[in-house]
């Protein structure tokens, strides 16, 4: 969200600069093909095609803005007052409790040590210093492996760029096709495949290079898959005891007239896993309860705010109006009002809690079933339980903090229908999203505003303001849509019924990538909306499609170079500045923060955002692989992006982000699959391009490439994917045996008792505290002990576990 936001304003900025200050150069592509950049929708994406000079100007602007961001970051980060914005991770880990300097009062807010301003890029080497093992320990495997994606980019593209510049660029350069033609061309095009005459034997170079690049990419991919798989297995093996290692999620427990869900689950597993079943935890429908809890929390916030206000100024007690947003209604004493409200809500919560526990219709037909051994859990998670494959569905339980509680109770038939609905909805979203936006755009024009608000007319009519509005307005609906797109995709995934946040994010990432591929990549190459493309493709023959795209590719190189600089370079620099969290933190700090704990909550470290971040990286992989053979000049820009982003994100992961879950790099098969997809696309487009260049005798050789690539993918899938999906019994047995030898008297049942209780049931004694963060710590066995004791009076554990003597 945050990144998209910053990026977007950057893009807007850049657009303005390119349309107002840069000379508009009509690119030869438009002339020679007679095509017009027809879609006004994509004006905002399409920074004008530029010559080498324009790229220089654009690069200068982007480098300068990136530099400005970095400078701002360098200054802001060493101010003690911002310490919690730029180093929240350390605070959350409890390794840092206050800004490092001590001394003067002023120096609590502003850094007066001028030496530190000189070393303003010192964070970069610092970010690179932490070794990977320590990084895994510090931020989790997900983060460490996420960083490897950037490294993978470097590993793939640095040798490719080296080879391309030493072999292909000379081959391309020493032609004079473009010079002899009467087309407008830039120096970049002289470096590209466009400069090779039709039917030339020199295309063999490109063919050989395509093979070399493919083999290199596959080699690196295989190596990386192996490393990541080993890392994952090692990580899982070296982890301490965790509830999810012993627990399986059972869904679609069939209804039974005689037994409650809890009894049914217990009986079923006692019968079918007699030697292994230990205990279970039924899932409750606590939607209303959690909304009450969060309501109470909000009220508590306001109460804190007013109490703080009162404590600062004791002369007048603060008041508020009871109506909507505090705008009207009776004026009452704010502190009393909120105290009453909180009291009322607390009672309501207690009532609701009681209801949820007692009333069987609040019990969902799902349960977390825990086993005596990891072996037992691994067996149960991987096997089918019942004759009817739609009931007693078992799967490995996600980490407790990774569970997405709302989706626990979706029945099987509904899942199929939901998938169908979302598939259709996503299709329409991808191909027809422009229709409502165009409709809004048609409303939101200057005339419309003047009509709706005549008093603004004279203001609007000022030429400068008018041109700005005219520049911004058409794009504004699109931009708002693009800002909300990741959220929309997350909602879609939630609707589809995934039960863990990590799975939700992975699915949203896949969708975001498809959207970007169609609307950014293809949309920029074949100008036109996605729907127009679809229409074009349906009416074109199968071998024409790669040709159409392939021919346009060399012409769009300059556009994509600019795109990389805006979205990649400046975007990264924007990411590190954390403008939004910075502002929000200071606002919250000023208005709400009362205790140290409040301040901690105000930090909002965020996560690295797999669902938006990874598809962005993948777009660069796609661009790099597609242009590697066609226009190698693009590669250095991508390499700079990967290098810069690696440093930036490494810094952020070390100092800022606080990952919400740990999936142990479960996303790697997706990452691998998308790079393979990009590779196949690049091969098909090269085939299309070469066939128009009358190097058609190369076709059989080029067809072989995707076939080989896909079977390489299948091989990798079979070889490494199980490490990310399945749970080897050997490992489980090893850990079980080891642990039994080490701690023969460990009380596993106590350890697992409350691990999978819905978060709202956990925060009962201290509902003001951060329910989430507390839940994590509880994974330490010691903490669980205390937890359990504080719970002994509640009906929950005694009801559901008393019957079992373990």
Shortest CB 273 distance to a second copy, Å: 8
Q: Which C-beta is closer to a second copy: that of 75 or that of 708?
A: 708
Shorter beta-carbon distance to a second copy: residue 130 or 733: 733
C-beta of 174 vs 806, nearer to a second copy: 806
**Residue (223 or 317) nearer to a second copy, CB:** 223
Other Cβ atoms within 10 Å of 358 Cβ, number: 11
Q: Which is nearer to a second copy, 392 or 620 (CB)?
A: 392
Kindly state the smallest distance separating residue 240's Cβ from a second copy, in Å: 19
Shortest Cβ distance from residue 420 to a second copy (Å)? 4
The site for a second copy (CB under 8 A) is made up of 233, 268, 271-273, 275, 375, 378-379, 382-387, 389-390, 392, 412-413, 416, 419-420, 423-424, 537-544, 707, 711, 714-715, 718-723, 726-731, 733
- CB closer to a second copy out of 354 and 726: 726
Cβ 437 vs Cβ 481: under 8 Å: yes
Q: How far is the CB of 714 from a second copy (least distance, A)?
A: 6
Could you tell me the smallest distance in angstroms from the CB atom of residue 390 to a second copy?
Answer: 6
The token pair at 62 is 């982007």
Tokens representing residue 693 in the block: 């260049």
Sheet strand arrangement including 277-284: 277-284, 363-371, 247-251, 393-396
C-beta closer to a second copy: residue 157 or 720: 720
Tokens representing residue 96 in the block: 């840092």
CA–CA dist 603, 664 (Å, integer): 25
Closest to 790 in 3D by CA, of 769, 803, 278, 594: 769
In a 3-state reduction of DSSP, which class is residue 368? Answer: strand
- Minimum CB separation of residue 91 from a second copy in Å reads 37
| 332 three-state secondary structure | strand
Question: What number of CA atoms fall less than 13 Å from residue 326's CA on the CB side?
Answer: 9
The values of phi and psi at residue 761, to 5°, are: -80, -15
Task: Check: CB of residue 367 under 8 Å from CB of residue 261.
Answer: yes
Task: Please report where in the chains the tokens 């020493």 appear, as a residue.
Answer: 174
* Shortest reach from residue 256's CB to a second copy, in Å: 14
3-class secondary structure per residue, 376-409: HHHHHHHCCCCCCCCCCEEEECCCHHHECHHHCC
CB of 523 to a second copy, least distance (A): 19
Q: How far is the CB of 565 from a second copy (least distance, A)?
A: 37
Distance CA 617, CA 276 (A): 44
Q: Cα separations (Å) of 134 from 140, 141, 147, 231, 250?
A: 9, 10, 14, 13, 36
Q: Which is nearer to a second copy, 696 or 707 (CB)?
A: 707
Instruction: Select 378 or 645, whichever has its Cβ closest to a second copy.
Output: 378
Nearest to 81 by CA among 573, 590, 580: 590
Nearer to a second copy, 413 or 782 (CB): 413
Q: Least Å distance between CB 409 and a second copy?
A: 18
Residue 587: partners with Cβ closer than 8 Å, 6 or more residues away: none
Closest Cα partner for 200 from 543, 690, 699, 703?
690
Instruction: Kindly tell me which of 154 and 729 has the beta carbon lying closer to a second copy.
Output: 729
Query: Facing residues of 320 across strands?
Result: 332
Smallest gap from Cβ 764 to a second copy, in A, equals 37
> What's the CA gap between 211 and 707, in Å, rounded?
12
Of 582, 533, 599, 527, the C-alpha closest to 556 is: 527
């Amino acid at each position: 969200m945050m990144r998209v936001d910053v990026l977007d304003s950057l893009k807007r900025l850049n657009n303005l600069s390119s349309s107002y200050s840069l000379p508009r150069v009509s690119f030869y592509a438009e002339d020679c093909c007679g095509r017009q950049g027809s879609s006004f929708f994509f004006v905002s994406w399409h920074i004008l095609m530029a010559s080498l000079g324009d790229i220089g100007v654009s690069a200068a602007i982007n480098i300068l803005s990136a530099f400005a961001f970095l400078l701002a970051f360098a200054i802001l980060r060493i101010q003690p007052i911002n310490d919690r914005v730029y180093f929240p991770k350390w605070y959350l880990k409890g390794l840092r409790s206050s800004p490092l300097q001590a001394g003067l009062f002023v120096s609590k807010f502003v850094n007066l040590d001028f030496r530190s301003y000189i070393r303003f890029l010192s964070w970069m080497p610092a970010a690179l210093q932490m070794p990977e093992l320590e990084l895994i320990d510090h931020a989790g495997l997900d983060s460490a492996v996420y960083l490897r994606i950037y490294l993978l980019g470097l590993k793939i593209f640095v040798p490719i760029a080296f080879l391309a510049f030493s072999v292909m660029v000379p081959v391309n350069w020493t032609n004079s096709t473009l010079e002899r033609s009467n087309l407008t061309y830039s120096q970049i095009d002289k470096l590209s495949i466009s400069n090779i005459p039709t039917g030339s034997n020199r295309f063999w170079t490109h063919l050989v290079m395509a093979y070399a690049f493919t083999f290199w990419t596959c080699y690196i991919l295989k190596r990386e898959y192996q490393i990541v798989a080993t890392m994952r297995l090692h990580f899982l093996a070296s982890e301490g005891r965790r509830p999810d290692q012993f627990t399986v999620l059972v869904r679609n427990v069939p209804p039974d007239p005689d037994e409650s869900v809890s009894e049914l689950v217990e009986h079923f597993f006692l019968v079918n896993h007699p030697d292994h079943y230990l205990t279970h935890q039924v899932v409750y429908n606590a939607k209303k309860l959690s909304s009450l809890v969060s309501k109470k929390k909000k009220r508590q916030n306001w109460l804190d705010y007013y109490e703080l206000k009162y404590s600062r100024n004791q002369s007048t007690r603060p008041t508020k109006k009871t109506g909507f947003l505090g705008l009207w209604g009776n004026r009452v004493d704010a502190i009393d009002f909120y105290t009453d409200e909180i009291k009322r809500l607390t009672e309501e919560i207690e009532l609701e809690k009681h209801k949820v526990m007692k009333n069987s219709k609040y019990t969902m037909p799902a349960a977390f079933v825990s086993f005596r051994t990891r072996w037992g859990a691994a067996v149960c998670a991987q096997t089918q339980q019942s004759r009817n494959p739609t009931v007693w569905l078992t799967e490995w339980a996600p980490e407790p903090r990774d569970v997405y509680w709302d989706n626990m109770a979706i029945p099987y038939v509904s899942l199929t229908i939901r998938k169908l609905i979302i598939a259709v909805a996503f299709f329409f979203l991808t191909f027809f999203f422009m229709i409502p936006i165009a409709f809004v755009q048609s409303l939101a024009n200057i005339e419309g505003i003047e009509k709706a608000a005549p008093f603004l007319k004279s203001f609007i009519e000022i030429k400068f303001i008018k041109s700005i509005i005219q520049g911004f307005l058409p794009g504004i609906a699109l931009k708002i849509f693009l800002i909300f797109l990741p959220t929309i995709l997350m909602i879609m995934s939630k609707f589809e019924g995934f039960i863990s946040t990590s799975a939700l994010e992975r699915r949203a990432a896949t969708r975001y990538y498809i959207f970007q591929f169609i609307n950014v990549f293809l949309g920029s190459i074949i100008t036109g909306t996605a729907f127009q493309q679809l229409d074009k493709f349906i009416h074109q023959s199968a071998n024409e499609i790669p040709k159409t795209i392939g021919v346009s590719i060399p012409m769009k190189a300059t556009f994509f170079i600019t795109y990389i600089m805006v979205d990649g370079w400046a975007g990264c620099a924007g990411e590190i500045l954390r403008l939004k969290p910075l502002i929000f933190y200071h606002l919250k700090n000023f208005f709400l923060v009362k205790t140290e704990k409040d301040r901690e909550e105000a930090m909002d470290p965020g996560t690295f955002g797999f669902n938006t971040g990874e598809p962005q990286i993948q777009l660069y992989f796609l661009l790099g692989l597609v242009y590697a053979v066609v226009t190698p000049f693009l590669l250095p820009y991508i390499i700079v992006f990967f290098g810069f982003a690696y440093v930036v994100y490494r810094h952020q992961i070390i100092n800022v982000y606080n990952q919400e879950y740990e999936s142990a790099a479960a996303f790697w098969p997706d990452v691998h699959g998308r790079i393979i997809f990009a590779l196949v696309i690049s091969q098909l487009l090269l085939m299309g391009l070469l066939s128009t260049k009358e190097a058609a005798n190369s076709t059989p050789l080029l067809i072989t490439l995707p076939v080989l690539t896909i079977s390489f993918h299948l091989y990798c899938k079979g070889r490494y994917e199980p490490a990310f999906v399945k749970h080897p019994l050997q490992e489980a047995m090893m850990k079980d045996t080891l642990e039994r030898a080490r701690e023969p008297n460990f009380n596993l049942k106590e350890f697992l008792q409350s691990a999978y209780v819905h978060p709202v049931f956990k925060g009962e004694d201290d509902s003001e505290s951060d329910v989430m963060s507390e839940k994590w710590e509880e994974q330490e066995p010691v903490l669980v002990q205390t937890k359990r004791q504080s719970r002994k009076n509640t009906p929950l554990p005694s009801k559901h576990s008393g019957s079992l003597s373990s």
